[in-house]
């Protein structure tokens, strides 16, 4: 059993903390902090900490090890080297309290086709992003040309067990020669992917930076949008009609916030800001508008793509959601219950509730008052088993 003075149940902060009782890999009861303790039960007592569901990072690249140009570099790795990077990536996520990740940047199904080990975060995946010939992330093996190949790409991902399809609708900053302001697919192309994926029971998320790409995504009926930056040549410009459309259709938006505050943005991000006039404050303001309009926001870090975005920076993404104007409970929910719902796991994880998988994180401090307490990991319980305790000391048996 874990007992902490503060608690977040995945949707709200619980007054007075909580006792979380675990049996095997499941939560069996959640009781107030000061409830009588069961006789003979071992208690991990954290009087100055917050217990909450394990965090869920909805946008990672496990084949990226945080190097400059990580996704391009990965194309030259052997299968054994790629496996080592994936393993290190998952362990870094666990150490940061992230017990589930959604991989949106696989290389030739290396992530989807492997088996998760008992000390690794649970993984949902999209397989290689579907992109245009020589397009953004083409080095990951997802290039297509023409609508027949788009249909075949969706079928291939379904056959490999993908839980979501990712389509790269615009260019991206992290691929040399790609222009993030240009479209890679039109509305009819995207609709082909959406129809084929939905026919197979899979949602579609779309990488989209310029406002034109977001408008294409809206018209084509995607389920979610990654980045959703709404860039133009003169900065961020998110039309009211776009926000209204996102809210009306409840399209999930992952702004891909989160980076190490001790490092500068990547050279590619700096160039985007120079070219477009985009600022971080304008980005926060835009995401705040999305939240105010009722657009569902997700916490996803884009972890692994460069040194400022290694694996394990999701807590900083939550902090940036707060800086965008989200209340602390909404920001933390974007990394727990909201993320679980987006990943199709609403009945499985993301909540402190009986019957849920016992994925827990305990952090020093009161997250309600300081979301960066999420960076101060005390314990991580993964599927009912302590895998991290006291930031590196041996975990309780």
pLDDT tens-place string over residues 17-39: 999 999 999 999 999 999 998 88
Q: Does domain 2-53+350-392 have CATH number 1.10.3370.10?
A: no
Task: Give the span between the Cα atoms of 372 and 393, in whole angstroms.
Answer: 22
pTM here is: 0.96
Mean per-residue pLDDT, 42-64:
96
What token pair was written down for 71? 């996704």
Q: What percent of the chain has pLDDT over 70?
A: 98
Q: What percent of the chain has pLDDT over 90?
A: 91
257 φ, ψ (degrees, to nearest 5): -75, 170
At residue 304's C-alpha, the angle toward residues 67 and 372, to 5°, is 115
Dihedral angle over CA of 334, 26, 373, 298, nearest 10: -10
Mean per-residue pLDDT, 333-343:
98
Mean per-residue pLDDT, 293-317:
98
Residues 84-118 have pLDDT tens digits of 999 999 999 999 999 999 999 999 999 999 999 99
88: exposed, middle or buried (C-beta count within 10 Å: 0-12, 13-18, 19+)?
middle
88 φ, ψ (degrees, to nearest 5): -60, -40
Residue 341 neighbours by CB distance under 10 Å: 18
CA dist 373 to 14, 284, 313, 351, 378, Å? 16, 21, 13, 19, 10
Mean per-residue pLDDT, 245-265:
96
The ranges assigned to domains in the chain are 2-53+350-392, 55-341
Mean per-residue pLDDT, 312-320:
98
Q: Note the pLDDT of residue 259.
A: 96
Mean per-residue pLDDT, 351-378:
98
Decide if 206 contacts 217 (C-beta within 8 A). yes
Q: Is the pLDDT of residue 274 over 60?
A: yes
Q: Note the pLDDT of residue 396.
A: 44
3-state secondary structure of 45: strand
Q: Does domain 55-341 have CATH number 3.20.20.140?
A: yes
Q: Is the pLDDT of residue 189 over 60?
A: yes
At residue 271's C-alpha, the angle toward residues 270 and 277, to 5°, is 85
Mean per-residue pLDDT, 203-208:
98
What token pair was written down for 136? 């953004």
CA dist 209 to 172, 229, 254, Å? 7, 5, 12
Mean per-residue pLDDT, 289-314:
98
* Res. 288 pLDDT band, cuts 50 70 90: very high
What ranges in the chain are assigned the alpha helix state H? 70-74, 79-95, 147-159, 187-199, 211-220, 240-248, 267-276, 280-293, 314-323, 328-333, 337-342
What token pair was written down for 241? 């009609």
3-state secondary structure of 69: coil
Q: Note the pLDDT of residue 394.
A: 38
Q: Is the pLDDT of residue 397 over 80?
A: no
Mean pLDDT of the chain: 95
Q: Note the pLDDT of residue 118.
A: 97
């Amino acid at each position: 059993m874990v007992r902490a003075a503060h608690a977040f149940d995945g949707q709200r902060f619980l007054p007075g903390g909580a006792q979380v009782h675990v049996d095997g890999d499941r939560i069996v009861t959640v009781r107030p902090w000061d409830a009588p303790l069961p006789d003979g039960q071992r208690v991990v007592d954290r009087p100055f900490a917050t217990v909450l569901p394990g965090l869920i990072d909805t946008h990672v690249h496990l084949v990226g090890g945080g190097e400059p140009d990580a996704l391009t570099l990965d194309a030259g790795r052997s299968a054994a080297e790629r496996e080592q990077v994936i393993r290190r990536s998952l362990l870094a996520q666990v150490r940061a309290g992230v017990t589930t990740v959604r991989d949106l940047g696989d290389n030739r199904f290396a992530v989807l086709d492997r088996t998760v080990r008992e000390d690794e975060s649970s993984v949902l995946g999209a397989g290689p992003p579907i992109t245009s010939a020589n397009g953004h992330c083409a080095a990951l093996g997802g290039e297509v040309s023409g609508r027949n190949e788009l249909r075949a790409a969706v079928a291939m991902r379904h056959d490999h067990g993908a839980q979501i399809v990712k389509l790269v609708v615009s260019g991206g900053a992290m691929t040399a020669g790609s222009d993030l302001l240009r479209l890679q697919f039109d509305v009819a192309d995207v609709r082909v992917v959406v129809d084929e994926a939905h026919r197979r029971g899979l949602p579609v998320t779309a990488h989209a930076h310029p406002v034109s790409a977001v408008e294409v995504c809206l018209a084509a009926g995607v389920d979610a949008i990654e980045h959703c930056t709404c860039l133009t040549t003169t900065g961020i410009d998110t039309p009211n009609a776009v926000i209204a459309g996102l809210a009306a259709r409840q399209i999930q938006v992952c702004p891909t916030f989160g980076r190490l505050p001790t490092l500068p943005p990547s050279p590619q991000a700096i160039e985007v800001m120079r070219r477009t006039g985009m600022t971080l404050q304008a980005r926060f303001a835009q995401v705040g508008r999305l939240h105010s309009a009722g657009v569902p926001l997700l916490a996803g870090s884009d972890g692994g793509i460069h040194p400022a975005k290694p694996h394990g920076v999701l807590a900083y993404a939550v902090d940036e959601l707060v800086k965008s104007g989200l209340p602390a409970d909404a920001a933390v929910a974007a990394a727990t219950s909201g993320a679980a719902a987006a990943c199709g796991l609403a009945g499985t994880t993301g909540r402190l509730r009986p019957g849920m998988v016992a994925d827990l994180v305990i952090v020093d401090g009161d997250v309600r008052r300081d979301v960066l307490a999420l960076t101060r990991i005390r314990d991580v319980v993964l599927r009912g088993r302590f895998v991290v305790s006291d930031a590196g000391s041996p975990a309780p048996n």
